[in-house]
A and B are shown apart, each in its own frame.
Chain A
Amino acid sequence: MKKWKPLSLAAFVAAVLALTGCGSTASSPGSSTNGAGSQPKLAAAQTVNLLEPSDVEGFDPNIADEEITITAISQIFDGLTRIGSDGVTPEKAIASSWDISSDGKTYTFHLRDAKWSDGPAVRAQDFVFGWKRELSIDKYGFIMNMIQGADAVVNLDPKASAAEKQAKLDAVGIKAIDDKTLQVQLTAPTTYFLGLTAFVPFYPAREDFVTKQGDKYGTSAATLISDGPMQLSDWKQGSSWAFVKNANYWDASKVQLTKANYTIVKDQSQAVNLYDTKKSDMVYMLNADNTAHYRGTPDYHELSIDANYYAEFNPNSSNAVAAKAFKNANIRKAFGESIDRATFVKTILNDGSKPATGLVPPTVPGDPKAAGDFRTQNGTLVKDNDPTTAKADLQKGLQEAGLTINDLNSIHFLTNDTSTAGKLAQLITQMWKQALGVTISIDTVPQKIRVDSQHKGNFDICFAGWGADYADAMTFSDLFTTGNSQNDTKYSNPQFDALIKQAKAEPDNSKRAQELEQAEKLMLADGYISPVYFKGVAVIQKPTLQGVSFLPLGPDYDLKNAFIAQ
């Protein structure tokens, strides 16, 4: 057994740099308060007012599968670990310590004396109940697939009998040794597992309370208990909700905020108006329309999140020309090479997003023995803005495929009906026209329909995005294995599959990272997808609101250490 060891210093620095180093004026408000120097004076009123673009779907962590709900729930719950103010590192929370077996497959967590908001102690059994409940509800259950027996529950036929389901649940490798000890059995060593235990699906649930509330669990302040820094005090469905400080929280002495008020504001210009009239302390994820107005003010910050947006070229399209074209490696390459990513990021997004240089975005840890994060270690793998090479590649490809340039004009680009997606499609097709002389038509559909068509493979070229589920390169690489439901282009490279499979079983973190890096190189060289940008987030935040940690994956931010300065 070995004790958990923090991320390498280099990765930590890289992560902090990623959060702070976005332009000269931007600094992470989260990290600034953790530095040395005098602590700012607290204001008398420790109330924060926040806006969200839609309502929480419910405060039951086991049904949460959407960003706003996940962000809200994470303010009032605590997992075994909690992501630290660097936005990356899992820190001790309900678990005060843990042991990891030498094969990296058995985790034993030792719980501290923590209490639920209604008084009783948080016990290991609460985690067992919560995690198994997550699996049995199965909305986000797939994220537990490294736990022994979890896949069997998730993949169970929906019509299976209750007894059969119970038997599968009983076989899952989650066990309460005693009230204070939780043991988890994994199928393979999983470096990012500790980080995951800070995530919403891994929160505890207390059986007696959940059973008593039934369907009402998590639907109001009265039918919810939580174990985090705050607790739900009021929820007017469809319009607002509020949190107050949880006096029973084990780390309550560190929590400064006494209240957080949330209002649902769907329209961002209204959100900005409310911010300007001091009705709100923060607006998260500003649109490109609003960033220019605040850039350069102390309120403005740009953050990076773990998300990558890329173009997909479908060799299995029902459009024969597109299929023929994208079966050809040179044509695929030409399309990827002719995108001018810097212009793209600057003119359309303008929110701190960066040109993509690979599949895995920055801050995701790489080989612990080498310097830098995964991205730095694997270097720039995307050939950007090279019309000359692109043109040559296209010529070569057309010849190989027996197509003319005019044939390519029948190719379609499938996109969402949002304004950003529309502009994006306009610009990218224009770039192709300029560099390659190809006229691609744009098909605009609602997001859900776009995703549906995309997953069914009904497209020629499509724009897709992926946000990390956990802080590891695997969350991105896994998508492109043969048979993965997210593998829209039906990419299949046995060599790639073998590398991923190997990495999944690899107990040596360093070797594992190298395998993933190699896989990334391979996959991008095949060129069925072409990364375009790493998503950034622009935030405006009143200078008086400090100590908020912004997270590159999972919840948007954490208010645990936030406070209002004078």
Chain B
Amino acid sequence: MANLLEVKDLEVSFKTHGGEVQAVRGVTFSLNKGEVLAVVGESGSGKSVTAQTIMRLIACPPAVIKNGSIRFDDRTDILSLTDKQMEAVRGSEIGMIFQDPMTSLNPTMTVGRQIAEGLIKHQALSKSAGLDKAVELLQLVGIANAKERANQYPHQFSGGMRQRVVIAIALACNPKLLIADEPTTALDVTVQAQILDLLKELCDKLGSSILMITHDLGVVANIADKVIVMYAGKVVERGTARELFYDPKHPYTWGLLRSIPRLDTDDTMDLIPIEGTPPNLLNPPQGCAFAARCPYAMDICTTRQPEETAVSESHAASCWLMHSQAPKVDHGLMLGGANR
């Protein structure tokens, strides 16, 4: 399968009065056509910054892209495009969905116009043709009375409906890649599944790849083909969804898995939060960033960064525990299906 997106050694920092905050510290991953890649991590792990850097939505200054490349659709580095060239990519080839549907729509513009805007710009449609297409898109994302609804304003829609509108905007021009930044976080649980289903269905239909930013492993399980886990601006583990759920290698991934409820087991297992807070990226630790919170941390963890160790062709993690001389530890997790 051909690579649609290839991010290599991406480093992004923010200049602040206190100094340079290293938000993304050498992130590498790739995404194939038609695939769904989930980026998982706590807030502050650099996942959103990574996503926004791909879209070049990040304001420079204060952000500085210090290193790395982002190759999209086998073309030149996105980071080297001019603003004008980038405008042609955004919306047309890469669409994006944001977290909060309540705020990601302009309150003073009709929904139809907001959808049509991108179409008019990228597909050189007339205003009325753009609006007609917008009505079709509203129907596509499952909004009844699309024609009337197109003339309404966002505040006349419920949260779930608004996210559908946002999806319609993002998918209006059949983008090759859809970046969804926590698309269900702000929604009611009952609506979340519907939205995810809709996303998956539409992307299948359109053949779009999805880069799903989330902290919710439930979402990952639902939708992702591949997963990368980020912590403190670095990828700590990568693999297929199956590998991650059934054979996690990084203590941080263990922690994440421990902290989600499972519906398929008895409530004998307590939910265990990860103790402590992520490190201050103004001065990232010398060794493994997770070491301070890691119950299995060894001396070396605080002094040297672990290398990425491959488990399989698709699975790898960065942890000293995977070193041949490291002691074997039991993470005590019930993994995969509730078969124990």
Query: Quick check: do A and B touch in the complex, using CB within 8 A?
Result: no
Task: Report A's interface with B, CB cutoff 8 A.
Answer: none
Task: Report B's interface with A, CB cutoff 8 A.
Answer: none
